Amino acid sequence: MATRKWQVSGAVLVLMAGCHQQGKESSAQPAAAASASSASEVPEFNADQWLGRWNGPEGTYLSIAKSEAGYRLEIADLDGPKRYSSQSVDDHLVFERDGRTESIRATSGDQTGMKWLQDQSNCLTIKPGEGYCRD
Protein backbone atom coordinates (compact mmCIF):
# COMPACT_ATOMS: atom_id res chain seq x y z
CA MET A 1 0.00 0.00 0.00
CA ALA A 2 2.87 2.38 0.82
CA THR A 3 4.31 1.74 -2.61
CA ARG A 4 0.98 2.60 -4.18
CA LYS A 5 0.92 5.92 -2.25
CA TRP A 6 4.38 6.81 -3.60
CA GLN A 7 3.33 5.95 -7.12
CA VAL A 8 0.23 8.14 -6.87
CA SER A 9 2.21 10.95 -5.22
CA GLY A 10 4.87 10.70 -7.92
CA ALA A 11 2.26 10.82 -10.67
CA VAL A 12 0.62 13.88 -9.08
CA LEU A 13 3.99 15.64 -8.85
CA VAL A 14 4.76 14.89 -12.50
CA LEU A 15 1.35 16.23 -13.56
CA MET A 16 1.75 19.35 -11.45
CA ALA A 17 5.22 19.99 -12.85
CA GLY A 18 3.87 19.61 -16.37
CA CYS A 19 1.03 22.06 -15.69
CA HIS A 20 3.43 24.52 -14.09
CA GLN A 21 5.77 24.31 -17.10
CA GLN A 22 2.86 24.69 -19.54
CA GLY A 23 1.71 27.82 -17.66
CA LYS A 24 5.19 29.30 -18.03
CA GLU A 25 5.25 28.62 -21.78
CA SER A 26 1.81 30.08 -22.42
CA SER A 27 2.56 33.18 -20.36
CA ALA A 28 5.86 33.65 -22.21
CA GLN A 29 4.22 33.46 -25.63
CA PRO A 30 2.13 36.65 -25.32
CA ALA A 31 5.18 38.54 -24.09
CA ALA A 32 7.20 37.30 -27.05
CA ALA A 33 4.38 38.15 -29.43
CA ALA A 34 4.02 41.61 -27.89
CA SER A 35 7.74 42.34 -28.18
CA ALA A 36 7.79 41.10 -31.78
CA SER A 37 4.86 43.29 -32.76
CA SER A 38 6.30 46.37 -31.06
CA ALA A 39 9.67 45.78 -32.72
CA SER A 40 8.05 45.67 -36.14
CA GLU A 41 5.92 48.78 -35.60
CA VAL A 42 7.00 51.71 -37.74
CA PRO A 43 6.19 55.25 -36.68
CA GLU A 44 3.33 56.68 -38.70
CA PHE A 45 4.48 58.92 -41.54
CA ASN A 46 3.53 62.58 -41.24
CA ALA A 47 4.43 64.81 -44.20
CA ASP A 48 4.02 67.86 -41.93
CA GLN A 49 7.65 67.28 -40.93
CA TRP A 50 8.54 68.21 -44.52
CA LEU A 51 6.81 71.60 -44.49
CA GLY A 52 8.96 74.50 -45.61
CA ARG A 53 11.71 75.03 -48.13
CA TRP A 54 14.20 72.44 -49.37
CA ASN A 55 17.13 73.71 -51.45
CA GLY A 56 18.66 72.21 -54.55
CA PRO A 57 21.66 73.27 -56.60
CA GLU A 58 21.83 76.47 -58.66
CA GLY A 59 18.88 78.19 -56.96
CA THR A 60 16.40 75.35 -57.41
CA TYR A 61 14.08 74.53 -54.53
CA LEU A 62 11.06 72.58 -53.35
CA SER A 63 8.61 74.30 -51.03
CA ILE A 64 5.91 72.29 -49.22
CA ALA A 65 2.91 73.91 -47.52
CA LYS A 66 -0.22 72.49 -45.93
CA SER A 67 -3.51 72.93 -47.82
CA GLU A 68 -7.13 71.95 -47.20
CA ALA A 69 -6.87 68.97 -49.54
CA GLY A 70 -3.36 67.83 -48.64
CA TYR A 71 -0.19 69.69 -49.53
CA ARG A 72 0.73 72.50 -51.90
CA LEU A 73 4.08 72.19 -53.67
CA GLU A 74 6.18 74.80 -55.39
CA ILE A 75 9.05 73.40 -57.39
CA ALA A 76 11.48 75.88 -58.86
CA ASP A 77 13.80 74.61 -61.56
CA LEU A 78 15.94 76.62 -63.96
CA ASP A 79 12.77 77.60 -65.89
CA GLY A 80 11.14 79.10 -62.78
CA PRO A 81 8.65 77.97 -60.14
CA LYS A 82 5.61 75.77 -60.80
CA ARG A 83 2.82 74.84 -58.38
CA TYR A 84 1.20 71.45 -57.76
CA SER A 85 -1.31 69.84 -55.41
CA SER A 86 -0.09 66.82 -53.51
CA GLN A 87 -1.40 64.04 -51.25
CA SER A 88 0.32 61.99 -48.58
CA VAL A 89 0.40 58.27 -49.45
CA ASP A 90 2.13 55.73 -47.19
CA ASP A 91 5.63 57.22 -46.65
CA HIS A 92 5.72 59.76 -49.48
CA LEU A 93 3.89 62.58 -51.25
CA VAL A 94 2.30 62.03 -54.66
CA PHE A 95 1.49 64.69 -57.28
CA GLU A 96 0.77 65.01 -61.00
CA ARG A 97 3.28 66.84 -63.22
CA ASP A 98 3.10 67.02 -66.99
CA GLY A 99 0.65 64.09 -67.10
CA ARG A 100 2.86 61.85 -64.92
CA THR A 101 2.44 60.73 -61.34
CA GLU A 102 5.52 61.77 -59.35
CA SER A 103 6.54 60.93 -55.78
CA ILE A 104 8.57 62.76 -53.18
CA ARG A 105 10.50 60.52 -50.80
CA ALA A 106 12.92 61.06 -47.93
CA THR A 107 16.50 60.21 -48.94
CA SER A 108 20.09 61.02 -48.19
CA GLY A 109 22.01 63.45 -50.35
CA ASP A 110 23.83 60.59 -52.00
CA GLN A 111 20.50 58.99 -52.94
CA THR A 112 19.42 62.13 -54.81
CA GLY A 113 21.96 61.25 -57.49
CA MET A 114 23.28 64.81 -57.42
CA LYS A 115 26.95 65.44 -56.70
CA TRP A 116 26.14 68.85 -55.17
CA LEU A 117 24.02 67.22 -52.48
CA GLN A 118 25.96 64.00 -51.82
CA ASP A 119 27.28 65.15 -48.42
CA GLN A 120 23.81 66.05 -47.10
CA SER A 121 21.74 63.71 -44.94
CA ASN A 122 18.24 65.27 -44.76
CA CYS A 123 16.90 65.31 -48.32
CA LEU A 124 13.83 64.75 -50.45
CA THR A 125 14.05 63.21 -53.91
CA ILE A 126 11.49 63.25 -56.70
CA LYS A 127 13.58 61.22 -59.14
CA PRO A 128 17.31 60.62 -59.62
CA GLY A 129 18.87 63.97 -60.43
CA GLU A 130 16.03 65.94 -58.83
CA GLY A 131 16.62 66.33 -55.13
CA TYR A 132 16.45 68.97 -52.42
CA CYS A 133 18.02 69.09 -48.96
CA ARG A 134 17.94 70.93 -45.66
CA ASP A 135 21.07 71.70 -43.71
CATH of the domain at 80: 2.40.128
User: Among candidates 51, 40, 42, 43, which has minimal Cα distance to 104?
Assistant: 51
Residues 60 and 12 in one domain: no
How many structural domains is the chain composed of?
2
With contact defined as beta carbons under 8 Å apart, do 125 and 131 qualify? Answer: yes
Question: Is the pTM higher than 0.75?
Answer: no
Same domain membership, residue 34 and residue 56: no
Summarised one tens digit per residue, pLDDT across range 51-87 is: 999 999 999 999 999 999 999 999 999 999 999 999 9
Query: How high is the pLDDT of residue 135?
Result: 74
pLDDT number for residue 38: 47
Amino acid residing at 111:
Q
Q: Do 51 and 34 share a structural domain?
A: no
36 and 55 inside one domain: no
Q: What is the rounded CA–CA span in Å between residue 46 and residue 59?
A: 27
Residue 87's domain comprises 47-134
Tens digits of per-residue pLDDT, 75-130?
A: 999 999 999 999 999 999 999 999 999 999 999 999 999 999 999 999 999 999 99
Contact 103, 41 (CB under 8 A): no
Give yes or no: residues 62 and 4 share one domain. Answer: no
Contact (CB, 8 A) for 114 and 129: yes
Amino acid (one-letter) located at 37:
S
Shared domain for 67 and 128, answered yes or no, is yes
